Amino acid sequence: MTQSAAQHLQQLYQQLSRDIPTLTKQLADLGQTARNVKRELGTDGHLDLGTYSETLDTFASIETNNRQIDTLNARAQTAATRLAHAKLLLPQAYFAKINLAYDGDDAEDFYLGKVGYVDAAGNDLVYDWRAPVAAVYYANRNGATSYQANGRTIPVTVSQRQQFVIDHDHLEQVVDAQAAIGDPLLLAVLASNRSGGLQEITATIQQEQNAIIRENDHAVVLVDGVAGSGKTSVLLQRVAYLLYQHRHDWTPADILIITPSIAFSRYIRGVLPALGEAEPLSTTYPKLVAALGRRFGLEITTLADNHLPALADLIQAPQPNVPAGLNGQAYAQTSEQANFITRMQHAWRWLQATNQTPDDVSQWLDWPSLAKSWGLPTLTPYDQLYLLVQITGHTQTTTAALFVDEAQDYDADVWLLLAAIFKKSQLTIVGDHHQRLVGVGPKIDTFFKANQTINLKLRTSYRATGAITSYFSQFAGDWSTAIQAVQPLGTPPTRLSTTDWSALQSELTVPARQSLALITPTTAEASQLAKQFSSAHLITANDHQTVQPGLNILVLTVAKGLEFDQVIITGWQSDFYTDADSGQNRRYVAASRGTKKLTLIDNDLL
C-alpha cells in the first residue's frame, strides 16, 4: 500500500465531498433561474406582429429565450448527472487502476469505477467500467494489447493493473493483478454473507464473464453456465453495459427481463441502481403472455395443453380451403400451393389496406373449425395468440433488448412465441441445461437464425466452497468433471437420517447477518414447516419477499437462482430426488444453493 495511492484516494474523496454540496446548490440555482425565465416569458412573451420588422424581432426574441431555456436544461442535466455519480462513488471512488501508454505517449493512470466522473472542466477523474478503455483491464493481460472504440482498434501497452479495497476515504488494500483479476479480492467478495438481494460484481468480473457482458457481434447471445458461475450477475452487468453503449438512444424502459418468479425479480432488484442505472422492466413469462393476449382481446389464464409446436409446423403447410370466418377474396388471390401463413399474412394486409380489419380480432376466425381442419382437439387462447401474432406480423418494437434468465425451464412454445414477438430486439438468454427440474428441454438455438446466434459457456463455479462445489458437481451429468471451483475447500456437506427436531437445533442456528434456507420438495411441506418456526421467512413464487437474514423456508422450484450462506435440504432420499429421469438435476440444483454449509436430511421433516 503506497502513500501515493492513499494520497490519490484522499484527493479524489475530498473533491467528491466538496462537489456534492456545490452541485446540489448549483442545481437549485439553475432551477430558480429557469423558473424566473419562464415567468418572464409568461409576462413579456406577447406576439407583436404589427409590421414585418416587428414580427422578425418578436420571433428572434422567442428563439433567444428558447435557446436560453435549452442551455439551462443542458447545464442542469450535466449537474444532475455529476451529482448522482459523485454520490454513487463517495463510498468507493474506484475499484481498479490500469497504467497504459498509447503509441509515442507517456504512460498514464486510468481509474475505473462503477460510473464515470469528470471535474468541472470536463477532465476524466474516474472512467466508467463500461468505457472502451476498461476492456483492457478485464482482458487479464499486461503488455501490448488493444481495445475497440468508435469502430477503430486502439493499440496500447498495459504496464500495470491494480485492484483496490476502499471504504470512503480509507484505502484498505491494494492488489497487483498480474495474471488474474484480483484472486484475493474475488475470494473476499465470495466469502461475504448472502442475505438480501443479489450483489453486483463489477470489481471482480472474470475474463469468461467479461466476454459475455461485452459481446457486440450477435443479436442473440445464448449462455449455458454451471451452477454458481454468476449467470444472473453477468446478465445484469450486460444490461448495464448495453444501456451504456446505447446511452444516447436507449433508456431502462427499452429493456425487458423475464424472470422465473416475482421472488426472483425482487432478489435482483437494486443491482442496476447500484451501477447508476434505473430499474428496467421485468416480468414473468405467464404475465407477459397474459398482457399480450389482452392486446388481441384474449383472456389467457393458463399455458397448459398448448399446441404451439404443432402449429409452428402446420402453418408452414398448404391450406387449400379458406379458413372459416375469413373473407376469401384476398386468400383466393394467393397460390393454393403457398403455405397457410403466407396466404393469411397476405389476407391480413389486404384487410388493412381496405379498412376491413375485424373489430374483435379474437373472434375473427372460426377457431373450432380451424382446429378441426388440422386434426387438433381445440385451439386454446394461447394457441390463438400465437396464430394471431404470426398472421398479423406483430412484433414488440418498444423493447430494444430482451433478457431471459433460467432459460432451461422453458419449453418449445415459449421460444416459438418469443422468437416471433422479439425478432427486432437483441436477446440475451442464460441458463443451465442441467438445472431443468422436469424432463428435457429443447435446443434453444434452433429457434433463431444461426448467423445471428452465439453460444457461450461458463464452467467456473464461484458461489460455494470447494467441498460443496465438488459435492454438487457429481450430479451434473457430462459436466461433473468440467466444473471448476475457486473457493477454499471449507466444511464438507453433512448427511442426516434423523427427523428428531432436537438433533436438528444446531443445524438451524444461523449466525448473525447470514441466511439459512430450508429447501423442501413440495410447497405443502414448506408451508407446514413455516408454521413450526414463527421467525422463519416463507418465500413463495408469487410474493415480493426474497432472501432474508435468518431462516428462509421455500420449495426447490422457488429456490432456483437464489443463493444462501447455509442450506438444509429435506427429503434427500425421497422419490422427488431419486426420480430416474429428473432426480439428478434436482439434487444438482438443491445442493448448489448453499455457499458455506450444506446439510442433507434423508427424510421429509413432516
- Which parts are annotated binding residues for ATP? 225-232
The C-alpha cell at 129 is 467500467
CA distances from 512 to 65, 168, 169, 544, 545 (A): 60, 25, 27, 23, 19
Listed in sequence order, the residues at least 6 apart from 461 whose beta carbon sits closer than 8 Å to its beta carbon are 226, 227, 228, 229, 469, 473, 483, 484, 485, 486, 592
Among candidates 256, 269, 261, 263, which has minimal Cα distance to 198?
Answer: 269
Query: CA torsion sign, 578 to 584 to 589 to 595?
Result: positive
- Helices 340-353 and 381-392: crossing angle in degrees, nearest 10, is 70
Give the β-pairing of 426-431 and 124-128.
unpaired
Q: Strand, coil or helix: what is 158? A: strand
In whole angstroms, give the CA distance from residue 377 to residue 196.
47
In whole angstroms, give the CA distance from residue 546 to residue 477.
30
The single-letter code of the amino acid at 264 is F
- Return the HEC string of 202-265: HHHCCHHHHHHHCCCCCCEEEEEECCCCCHHHHHHHHHHHHHHHCCCCCCHHHEEEECCCHHHH
Measured in residues, the chain has a length of 606
Structural contact between residues 385 and 301, judged by C-beta atoms closer than 8 angstroms: no
In whole angstroms, give the CA distance from residue 27 to residue 19.
12
Indicate the DSSP class of residue 513. Answer: T
Query: CA torsion sign, 281 to 223 to 289 to 556?
Result: negative
Indicate the DSSP class of residue 318. Answer: B
Q: How are the residues of the chain apportioned to helix, strand and coil, as percentages rounded to the nearest 5?
A: 40, 20, 40
Annotated binding site: 225-232
Among candidates 465, 461, 466, which has minimal Cα distance to 206?
Answer: 461
Structural contact between residues 400 and 426, judged by C-beta atoms closer than 8 angstroms: yes
Structural contact between residues 203 and 185, judged by C-beta atoms closer than 8 angstroms: yes
Q: Say how many CA atoms lie within 13 Å of 45 toward its Cβ.
A: 11
Count of C-beta atoms within a 10 Å radius of residue 109: 11
Grid look-up 433478457 returns: 403
In whole angstroms, give the CA distance from residue 120 to residue 264.
41
